[in-house]
Structure 1
Amino acid sequence: IMPYTLPLHRARRMVSRKKALLLLLLALSSLSVLIHQSAHLSWSPKPSSLNCPPTSLPRPKHTSVAFLKTHKTAGTTVQNILFRFAERHNVTVALPHHACDHQFCYPRNFSARFVHPHTLPPRIIASHLRFQRHELGRLMPNDTLYVTILREPVAMFESLFTYYNQYCPTFRRVPNGSMDAFLANPLAFYRPQEKFSMYAHNILLYDLGGDNNHSPADPTYLPSFIRQMEEVFSLVMIAEHFDESLVLLRRLLSWELEDMLYVKLNMRGPRSKGNVSSEALAARIRTWNALDAQLYEHFNTTFWRKVAQVGRECVAEEVRALRRACDQLVHHCFGGLPQLRPATQIKNKELRPWQPSAKVDIVGYDLPLAVSSSGAPPDERCLKLAMPEVQYSRYMLRKQSLRSRRRVVPHRPLPPRAVARPARGLPLRHPTMPKVA
């Protein structure tokens, strides 16, 4: 008996059907994976039902940013956002020379010569410095957008008083570390020419390059200073309205929502937080830091004008989208709400925040060994999300130094000028600050 053989055209048809079925199964499988991933990591906000201005301007992402990182204003969190953006988009970040540690030889006036040569020419700068417009102009591209952040002076001063109690001689003189005792007679403890004295008096103005000891009774000084700031800074963020600030920053830079995701960094533990016990004490803080208080009041007002230009409801809608996306990323990285831990309890040394003194606890995050059923470790994005400033600065310097050594065409050098020696008795780095390798 002859075996039955399918006609050639029928055999080809069956093979084609099998291929089509296989392709359909593969497509369904891929679609399922994409849907599953998007359910967990979908950053894009839903289309607005409001008549809002476009959330992304029709232009490329702006990659040249100078962020003036002020003290105790949530600046470390903004810096982390900028560092992660720079890594994702291969943008060079200006980092301090070894002699300056992870700050640009603060509290000295910024000089372009403080920048590590392996991080030239930069497009982003985000580490602590004392603002000098001319020097930053020498360093940064002409299209650089300048941004900074301010914080309400009462809350900021409480944080400064606690955080720098071992650095600032003014604070060390105060009996029992009492803020009430200091504010009862600040001039009994404050020495304007003393090193690190700026932590005790109008530090926002000092960081911005102003005279923090100028008399607040002068009716011309601060208005003139504010006008100069407004000529330079495209956005002054407000720490108390951090998410709204990020919405404005994202629109200014034409970035995506994914570029703005964050967790809070460099926070104090509960036992390290002081208490402004009365309105009278708060009033004394504002009086002692009158220039900072007026500066904050002005830019808080202009901040809400910018919000109004976009539309308060539109900004609120973007804030909700940002918070949802942050929650999704946190769940992805930590498997739930992250637990803030003292540095001594964080197993990964790359995630242990620097401690300013034995009297202050700066808490951080520890990533779980596995956050998925597969047992895979969390991705590098999660590590960078939680990485403190000192370690991230050190990592970025190593990475950019390797890239600089491989570069064939050298960067255009800055005009030659020697780095000025520090004033007598003024160390380049804080007494106990770890040296950046």
Structure 2
Amino acid sequence: MKVLTRRLPRLLLALATSFILFLFFFNSKNGSLPSYGGLLDVRHNSLLLFNYSTPEAPAIPNAPPSCTSKKSIIFIKTHKSGSTTLIATFQKYAYLNGLSMMVPNVENNMFNWPMEFRPNIDNVKNVQDERFDMLVNHIIFNKTSIAPLMSPEAQYVTILRDPLAHLSSSFRYFDVNANGRLGLGVEGFKRFLTDPAKYDATPYWMKNVLPLSRNRINSLTRNLQAADLGLSYWDFDKPRIVDEFMNRTMKTLQFVVILERIDESLVLLRRHMCWRMQDIIFISKNVNPTRLLKMNDYPGWARINAYKWNNVDLLLYQAANRRLDDLRSSANGLDDEVAAYRTIQRQVTKYCNGLLREPGQHKSTLTIKAGRWNEGFLVDSKFCVLLLLDERDLTHVFKCKQHPEHKDCQEKSGYRAKMMLSMIEGEIEYKQILMTPRTS
């Protein structure tokens, strides 16, 4: 009896261990593996050696925050990567928080793009040389020329997209296959992919833009994301320069949003910036409802050629995904927070889109109840209009609020800015402004 008493703890331990192993192998045979507090990364179907313990519950958001919010952002817009959608989110944040926005000196949303940026020539100079809080419009990134104009606390942020999906979008948006010169629809794109260097075409509006300048966008299908981030077209195939660019860029960027992982990206950005849930809400813009092909339908040779043609964009995309994976691995409760965010996102999108259809909707409000991951907040017409407005229109509003004496804020252009301000403040309905044409 004494021997049995001594061995009982060991027997119980052995039985418990056997039961756990049985559950593990039973699940694996049925096509799944159990996930213990982040032990399993289901996206890669592999075990990761991190976070064995159950994640701790986060602090209730209504309690005093344990971090100080970062308000200043330098957002480097990359074309055809979801940037226009994010710009509205950042512009809304800047407007509601009274932040200063660096705006172009011309009546559009470009700082001399596709040419290099010229400080205090391409932007409207701030009064008394004060620094700006936020930058979001088209610009070829150059930290040396941009940083002195911005708040020293500014966070460098960009967004990247899978190079194959990006190439497909650029091919259509920039009309590379003008007049069906390569064939119609999918066949034209497939033909382009057989030899991108041969079939790439510079749009007519770019051909005469200082062609001898070195630092300019020279192709709208090749490494356009890297080019927006400052890499010269003539350096795409120089390994040493590409390595230096990658090291410098990934060191400079404090956060990279991945379009294909936008929800978790924005939740992680929220944590990085110490923002509230309502600060990262977006409404999708410039989304093409159809694609030439679904990503999984591209033949192997097409993928290889697309990634070779966009060799630097691929390096950026891979590096950014690795960084996001690292952030995810230490982000307790991330999946639950993303699920809560998606629920709120759907509610706000449905309500805001109603502003376009229902007369008088601009006088109503939507109440978002407090939850584990968010404080309660109200969504009104101002919140929605700031997300719905075209990037150029809201850029014009910032220009005329900050620099009313500017030539672009006089006469008809000035009247339009006042109309948009009235719409933002809920004095007129959103659809009314859509009937007022721009002057440019």
1:32-43 counterparts in 2 under 5 A? none
Q: Secondary structure at the match of 1:98?
A: coil
1:137 aligns with 2:147: yes
Partner of 1:398: 400
Partner of 2:117: 110
| 8 A Cα contact 1:334 1:371, kept in partner | no
| 8 A Cα contact 2:73 2:157, kept in partner | yes
| 8 A Cα contact 1:110 1:130, kept in partner | yes
Q: Secondary structure at the match of 1:200?
A: coil
State how far apart, in whole Å, the 2-side matches of 1:142 and 1:97 are.
Answer: 22
Return the structure number with greater relative CO, CA threshold 8 A, min gap 6: 1
State how far apart, in whole Å, the 1-side matches of 2:69 and 2:279 are.
Answer: 10
Q: Compared with structure 1, are the counterparts of its residues 70 and 374 closer, same or farther at alpha carbon in structure 2 (3 Å cutoff)? A: closer
Partner of 1:369: 359
Partner of 1:387: 389
1:133-282 counterparts in 2 under 5 A? 133-165=143-175, 174-176=181-183, 178-190=188-200, 194=207, 197-216=218-237, 218-270=238-290, 273-275=291-293, 277-279=297-299, 280-282=301-303
Partner of 2:103: 95
Partner of 1:325: 344
Q: Compared with structure 1, are the counterparts of its residues 132 and 172 closer, same or farther at alpha carbon in structure 2 (3 Å cutoff)? A: farther
Partner of 1:51: 56
Matching residue within 67, 70, 76 for 1:62: 70
Q: TM-score, normalised by structure 2?
A: 0.66
Partner of 2:34: none
State how far apart, in whole Å, the 1-side matches of 2:102 and 2:60 are.
Answer: 29
Q: Compared with structure 1, are the counterparts of its residues 237 and 211 closer, same or farther at alpha carbon in structure 2 (3 Å cutoff)? A: same
| 8 A Cα contact 1:190 1:197, kept in partner | no
Q: Secondary structure at the match of 1:66?
A: strand
Q: Compared with structure 1, are the counterparts of its residues 252 and 171 closer, same or farther at alpha carbon in structure 2 (3 Å cutoff)? A: farther
Q: Percent identity?
A: 23
> AA paired with 1:66?
I
Q: Secondary structure at the match of 1:157?
A: helix
State how far apart, in whole Å, the 2-side matches of 1:252 and 1:89 are.
Answer: 18
Q: Give deviations 1:168-221, integer Å, cap 9, x for gaps.
A: 6x86794336112222222223478956632121111101101334354x5433
Q: Compared with structure 1, are the counterparts of its residues 375 and 315 closer, same or farther at alpha carbon in structure 2 (3 Å cutoff)? A: closer
> AA paired with 1:106?
W
> AA paired with 2:247?
R
Q: Secondary structure at the match of 2:231?
A: coil
Q: Give deviations 1:6-44, integer Å, cap 9, x for gaps.
A: xxxxxxxxxxxxxxxxxxxxxxxxxxxxxxxxxxxxxxx
1:300 aligns with 2:308: no
Matching residue within 310, 325, 328 for 2:331: 310
Q: Secondary structure at the match of 2:398?
A: helix
State how far apart, in whole Å, the 2-side matches of 1:124 and 1:259 are.
Answer: 15
Q: Give deviations 1:371-415, integer Å, cap 9, x for gaps.
A: 49989996222222222212222222222224999xxxxxxxxxx
Number of residue-to-residue matches in the alignment: 323
1:315-354 counterparts in 2 under 5 A? 315-335=334-354
| 8 A Cα contact 2:77 2:138, kept in partner | yes
Q: CA deviation at 1:80?
A: 0.6
> AA paired with 2:281?
L
| 8 A Cα contact 1:151 1:238, kept in partner | yes
| 8 A Cα contact 1:69 1:126, kept in partner | yes
Matching residue within 128, 143, 148 for 2:138: 128
State how far apart, in whole Å, the 2-side matches of 1:242 and 1:400 are.
Answer: 31
> AA paired with 1:112?
P
| 8 A Cα contact 2:364 2:380, kept in partner | no
State how far apart, in whole Å, the 1-side matches of 2:201 and 2:95 are.
Answer: 42
| 8 A Cα contact 1:154 1:285, kept in partner | yes
1:3-82 counterparts in 2 under 5 A? 50-51=55-56, 58-82=66-90
Matching residue within 305, 314, 317 for 1:284: 305
Q: Secondary structure at the match of 2:312?
A: helix
State how far apart, in whole Å, the 1-side matches of 2:146 and 2:81 are.
Answer: 21
Q: Give deviations 1:75-128, integer Å, cap 9, x for gaps.
A: 1111111100111110011111116x2111111112222112368631000111
State how far apart, in whole Å, the 2-side matches of 1:392 and 1:308 are.
Answer: 37
| 8 A Cα contact 1:334 1:368, kept in partner | no
Q: CA deviation at 1:435?
A: 7.2
Q: Compared with structure 1, are the counterparts of its residues 330 and 143 closer, same or farther at alpha carbon in structure 2 (3 Å cutoff)? A: same
State how far apart, in whole Å, the 2-side matches of 1:116 and 1:367 are.
Answer: 37
Cα RMSD for the two superposed structures? 3.2
Q: Secondary structure at the match of 1:149?
A: strand
Q: TM-score, normalised by structure 1?
A: 0.66
> AA paired with 2:293?
N
| 8 A Cα contact 1:149 1:237, kept in partner | yes
> AA paired with 1:332?
Y
